[in-house]
Amino acid sequence: MTIDTPTRRARTAAPGGDAPSVRRRGPAQKAPFLLLAPALVMLAVFIGWPLVQMVVMSFQEFGRPQIFGAPAPFVGLDNYVAVLTDPQFWLVLARSITLCLVCVAATMSLGVLIALMMSKLGRVMRTAVSIALLLAWAMPALTATIVWGWIFDTQYGLVNHLLSQITGTDWTGHSWLIEPLSFFSVAAIVITWGAIPFVAFTVYAGLSQVPDEVLEAASLDGAGAFQRFRYIVLPYLRSILIVLLILQIIWDLRVFAQIYALQTIGGVRADTNTIGVYIYSVSMASGDLGSGGAISVILVAIMLVISAYYIRSMLKEDRS
């Protein structure tokens, strides 16, 4: 007597009694990879290859002679040792992280508040706020920084004029960029002002996914506005906020145009360098592209660690 098992049925069903062969991928299964191929090629050419060159350069002695064709000898970890043992690097990194945390906290808080406000406004006012946010978002960072530089101008700035009218004291001639603390206060305003629209629009789009029935039920049960936001709205927006947080940290940590433009207007570069401007100064002004590449690789590693941590946390929450 022969026992009929699933394995035996599969073998007898296949031609010749052998195990069924693996199906080959047809044109329909290859279509997604073919559609992604152009984007992957562009990423490899414009991001992957420069990144590889930067990593290789960080292990080389790459100065002005190498820019004009001289061979670039490998120096191993010498560039990384020089950077990591330089107190100026750690001072600039700490300054950049502090500015990043302040800007991210202000951007996320104000962006979420504006998105909540937009969800409560009528069509006309919501359209007006959206246009204002789009104009701020569309303005290039360098142009926005120059405009803010005029607002905080020493002689003819609007801020000094308003302070003179309000306090009765003559603020004409007061420089907001000469002192590091006031310089970074102005820089934080400029950076936050340009980043708020992206957060506000993204969170406003996410608010449309919150069911109105759940909010109405919570309201009928006596939940206040803060309780509804904390226990209902926030869980729906958690994944969106995590992505926004990662992007804002990456963007604000490597900010360059705003700081460089404010330094050109009136800031003291030695006291106000952030990591982006510091890389530019080491690489271009000093001509040491090897050390500049090492700093860039360290910055990329920091951002990858931050991104990996938050993405892993988000995936754990989705699985649970």
Q: What is the pLDDT of residues 113-146, one digit of tens each?
A: 999 999 888 889 999 999 999 999 989 998 999 9
For the purposes of burial, counting CB atoms within 10 Å of the CB of 176, is it exposed (0-12), middle (13-18) or buried (19 or more)? Answer: buried
77-319, what's its fold?
MetI-like fold (1.10.3720)
Q: What is the pLDDT of residues 175-213, one digit of tens each?
A: 898 888 999 999 999 999 999 999 999 999 988 888 878
- pLDDT reported for residue 9: 47
Domain range list for the chain: 77-319
Entry pTM: 0.82
Q: What is the pLDDT of residues 259-311, one digit of tens each?
A: 999 998 887 888 899 999 999 988 877 788 888 899 999 998 988 888 887 77
Tokens 């004009």, located at residue: 68
Q: Residue 104 has which token pair?
A: 């991210």
